[in-house]
Structure 1
Amino acid sequence: MSTQNSHAQEPKIRESWTGQTGFLLAAIGSAIGLGNIWRFPGVAYTNGGGAFLVPYLVALVAVGIPMLWLDYAVGHKFRGSPPWALRRLKAIGEFVGWFQVFVCFVILVYYGAVIAWAMQYTVYSVSQAWGDDPAGFFVGSFLQSVDGSKELSWEPVAAVAIPLALMWIFLLLVLSRGLSKGVETANKIFLPLLVVLFLIMVVRALFLPGAAEGLNAFFTPQWDSLGNPNVWLAAFAQIFYSLSVGFGIMLTYASYLKPKSNLTGTALVAGFANSSFEILAGIGVFSAIGFMAMNQGVSVSELDGLTGPILSFVTFPQIISAMPGGSLFGVLFFASLTLAGMTSLLSLLQPVSGSLQDKFGLKPTTAALVCGVPATIISLVLFGTKSGLNNLDIVDKFINEIGVVSSAIFLAVLAAVAAPRLRGLRQHLNSVSSVKVARLWEFLVGIIIPLVLAFMLFSSLVGLVSNGYDSYKPTYVLAFGWGCLAFVVIASAVLTFIPWKPRAISAETVSSILESHSDDDEPVGEVAAESSRAVSATEEGEVR
């Protein structure tokens, strides 16, 4: 690996955020996504209600923020996308970096389909097109979903494929404009708009009849649940997935920060902003659910579909149809869902685009096409068809529970054993940040977090290997579940062995290499050799 990539050079001129605010908005936009709105309320409700906030906040402090600091430290110190930054840690790190990139790629190709659903439902809300049977409409008339235990269909569904194609065209245009003019500008528009729309929706929900009963169900603590280890695992999983840590997004975003940036303070703001939005989402969602329970003459505990796509595309349409002014409420809800999804999707695209720019010296426009065109085609073929819902369900299960968790374990272990190791990364954080990181961080990131994640990974693997997944045919799960993981591994290996495109290297780059190893345990000779290879490549005319 190191032999073939010995001439890898850092780009001479690298894009950067216009300031700390632009980065912070992008980081918050990445963290606030579909999972905040449709996953957190249901997870909290089924895992102890108000008591769930205890393990949730513990997980935020013990796992979420420390992993966020790790991503920021690696990205900012080594000034590159995951393959470049992690290669600077260790040669094998490039494979880990590409693993993160392709995990992002797999997620974004199906994540876009859910955004397309939300876009279409924003329009449907005006006339309440789902009628008296939201469940039948969603699975039948809208998705035209086939039985995943019996058949696989490649027949396109126009109601999904058309908004999906339009969404991809728009997002690729944003990405092609580069970091500051594209991604940063989009987040500056989308995120405030999302907050305003969602606040209006929450306030409206609070004044619905039965809202108090819904909030009581959401916040009433079931203290005995704190003795259940599954509740703690659920809290750790929610924080981990919600903050977008450990699989290249925040690492990439941090690499575009200016040398003097307040990393730890920004991470704290982003982490607590994300959690605040999740609690706000819980308030809005359960206020509306309380209204639905009252309207049906049942308790909240008797209702089904309080999490995931069913909550958004079946339960909420039922609420919209039953409430006064429901159409406006529906437009606000699904527009918020669309905006939350788009800010997260942009963050998934950036590690892919940035890695292609670093590896092959591509311009942002070219990189957007290279990653975006295949993503659009795959997204339409796999998730814009009658089997789209089933395909999405399987891929999401495997890539999140195995791909994302494995990626985070690889990152934490690599940072713990490769120079400058966690001590050097902590020193880097403290050298540029207002909030200083204690030595406890090294223990959390190097030992506790990998152990917790390894247990989560082991539990998922045992369940999937032993029982398969849901009622899907084994061959179906093999193709779309294990198959997507195999794709990530193979694609990562292929990109690792492709030589980096030689590029001009400046004195500042050599200085950066030396500075990045200044607190390492790596022998001075190896550091000098890396700089020497860079300089000799330029002198021999191997780079332009």
Structure 2
Amino acid sequence: MSRTLPGTMGRDRDPLTASRGRDHGLGLGRTDSRDKLSKKMDFLLSVIGFAVDLGNVWRFPYICYQNGGGAFLIPYTIMAIFGGVPLFYMELALGQFHRTGAISIWKRICPIFKGIGYAICIIGLYVSFYYNTIIAWALYYFYSSFSETLPWTSCDNPWNTPNCTSYFGKSNISWTNFSKSPAEEFYTRKVLGIHEADGLDDVGGLHWQLLLCLFIIFTIVYFSLWKGVKTSGKVVWVTATLPYVVLFILLIRGATLPGAWRGILFYLRPNWEKLTDTTVWVDAAAQIFFSLGPGFGVLLALASYNPFNNNCYRDAIITSVVNCLTSFLSGFVIFTVLGYMAEMRDVEVEDVAKDKGPSLLFITYPEAIANMVGSTFFAIIFFLMMITLGLDSTFGGLEAVITAIMDEYPHVLSNRREIFVLGLVIVCFTGSLSTLTQGGAYVVKLLEEFGAGCSIIAVVFLEAIAVSWFYGIQRFCNDVKSMLGFSPGVYWRVCWVAVSPAFLAFIIVSSLLDQPPLMLFDYQYPEWTISVGFLIGASSFIWIPVYMVYKLAWTPGSFKQRLAVCIRPEKSVRDQQPDSLCMVSVP
């Protein structure tokens, strides 16, 4: 349905007015006091740092080899072109034009969908509860790497069991189903202490070393975010670029290892039959979605600090390509080392590449590093890379929550950012305590599966519907034109209206139909924990229908009048600009 707001008739036909709007850098919610990113690169590095995270290093390589090797790149590329990148571009454009966070932005788009903003904030909190714990694990490894002999090299440590078995440097080793590598026992028994827990029924006590590591992580996060994007925009110059330096160092080292070619062949060997499997396409869609990260409110928040006429179209293309290429590069880094391990163990590559989660980073790769020349150096830079990859994403995720809440309640929080950020960090730290117990890894897995699983995909699905169908694709394209001077083409319009929502619906339906048993190590999650997981997922999404009912109930008039008001933007761009810019020449 086509709708025209009062005072906006002819906006896009009046180049003088549009030019003035761009020159003055005016947009919704933008005031002179609002922070601005100092440089263009601050924004690009912030977005790249958020999009490129730990998942690029472990999830993409595993999914690629599991789903047809080089053949997987075909569905991955298709899903990126028609699903991931259009959604990425949409969020950057929305944030830059409306210049406000994920909650208050819905007043200017479609007020009845404002619950999406609250859902995004709750999902952001759930992610912070477990994601920073993974960074704390990396910090623990980083500290442990400062030793002449890495502690996960041998089986002669107090935490090792009689089942500990090391392949490297030995012959005639008998490996059974009960055998454990030194790296695995260091991770599960020393770092996690998971053997002391009885599943989620009894998670045991707190691990004080991890508590200290997490405290350090949140301290870094606080002092990077407390002053706003001007501070975090400088920090990402280190945290977003250092991982690429380390990746290239590790790639060169991995390529020189014996058997590296075996890993590369295994990684890229195409299995064309896999393309007929629906699961492969589901995995490709899910991977590109979670890799680019639309829906978390981060792109909205970061883009809202851009100049009004910034070329967000070019930014979307650049950052999407960098993200995808980083995932592809990480695959070479990981599989050269897996090929080396297969060579040393005299087994097939698939026998050492069974883990798709954090275990790949905390067991498999460290085990290979421990048996390299210069193992201490490579361990230090590897875990430093993991820490910086994780911190970037944490900065973006929490900045999304901070921007959303501060923009929604400016009269209360505008001059109290430091105190508000401190309170938010304390909440996140407190919420993470359960993940620091001896059974904390079970909690991390539960939150990872349900805290930001189907709920975030459903949120983005409704966001795409609200923008394309309720706000109107023509109005949205006019907004983009007022910023960039050109309107998105037919390809982008078709993707936003039909293809991208179908892409998201495809992931949602496939995920709901395919619910494999949830397991971690040898522990299968009981039914009651799965129920708890669904409640966690529902606790964020439920805010969308709750707010819809609230909005309709408190809006005066008949039901038809209420509905009309609730789907019509409360404010237009002209409401935020001087009267002189609202004047339109009449032919």
Distance 1:99 1:47 in 2: 32
Residue of structure 2 in register with 1:92 after alignment: 112
For residues 475-508 of structure 1, give each alpha carbon's deviation from its aligned partner in whole angstroms, at most 9, with x where no partner exists. Answer: 22333x1232243246778999999xxxxxxxxx
Give, in angstroms, the shift of residue 91 of structure 1.
Answer: 1.4
Q: 1:350 aligns with which of 399, 412, 417?
A: 399
* Percent sequence identity over aligned pairs: 25
Q: 1:46 aligns with which of 26, 49, 66?
A: 66
Residue pair 1:245, 1:408 contacting (<8 A) in 2 also: yes
Moved over 3 A (4+): 9-12, 146-150, 430-436, 467-470, 489-499, 525-535
1:375 aligns with 2:428: yes
For residues 195-233 of structure 1, give each alpha carbon's deviation from its aligned partner in whole angstroms, at most 9, with x where no partner exists. Answer: 212221221111111111111111111122222221121
Residue of structure 2 in register with 1:287 after alignment: 336
1:165 aligns with 2:218: no
Residue of structure 1 in register with 2:177 after alignment: none
Distance 1:255 1:53 in 2: 33
Q: 2:527 aligns with which of 458, 461, 474?
A: 474
CA RMSD between the two structures: 2.8
1:80 aligns with 2:103: no
Matches within 5 A, 1:411-426: 411-419=463-471, 421-426=472-477
Distance 1:148 1:400 in 2: 25
1:37 aligns with 2:37: no
One-letter code aligned to 1:33: D
Distance 1:357 1:498 in 2: 22
Give 1 or 2: higher helix fraction: 1
Residue pair 2:45, 2:237 contacting (<8 A) in 1 also: yes
One-letter code aligned to 1:439: V
Q: 1:151 aligns with which of 188, 192, 201?
A: 201
1:130 aligns with 2:180: no
Residue of structure 1 in register with 2:540 after alignment: 488
One-letter code aligned to 1:427: N
Distance 2:322 2:358 in 1: 24
Q: 1:432 aligns with which of 460, 464, 483?
A: 483
Residue of structure 2 in register with 1:297 after alignment: 346
- Alpha carbons of 1:472 and 1:216: their partners in 2 closer, same or farther (altered >3 Å)? same
Residue of structure 2 in register with 1:59 after alignment: 79
2:103 is paired with a residue whose SS is helix
Distance 2:546 2:430 in 1: 21
One-letter code aligned to 1:353: I
One-letter code aligned to 1:418: F
2:241 is paired with a residue whose SS is helix
1:397 aligns with 2:449: yes
Distance 1:452 1:90 in 2: 22
What is the aligned residue count? Answer: 499
Distance 1:497 1:76 in 2: 29
Distance 1:225 1:477 in 2: 30
1:455 aligns with 2:506: yes
1:366 aligns with 2:419: yes
One-letter code aligned to 1:334: F
Distance 2:574 2:307 in 1: 22
Residue pair 2:207, 2:438 contacting (<8 A) in 1 also: yes
2:329 is paired with a residue whose SS is helix
Instruction: Provide structure 2 residue ranges, at least 5 long, that are not aligned to the other structure.
Output: 1-27, 155-181, 552-563, 579-587
One-letter code aligned to 2:466: L
Q: 1:278 aligns with which of 317, 327, 330?
A: 327
1:249 aligns with 2:298: yes
For residues 242-267 of structure 1, give each alpha carbon's deviation from its aligned partner in whole angstroms, at most 9, with x where no partner exists. Answer: 11112211111111111110011011
Residue pair 2:218, 2:429 contacting (<8 A) in 1 also: yes
1:403 is paired with a residue whose SS is helix
Query: Structure 1-normalised TM-score?
Result: 0.85
Determine which structure has more spread, i.e. the larger CA radius of gyration. Answer: 2
Query: Structure 2-normalised TM-score?
Result: 0.79
Distance 2:372 2:292 in 1: 33
One-letter code aligned to 1:245: P
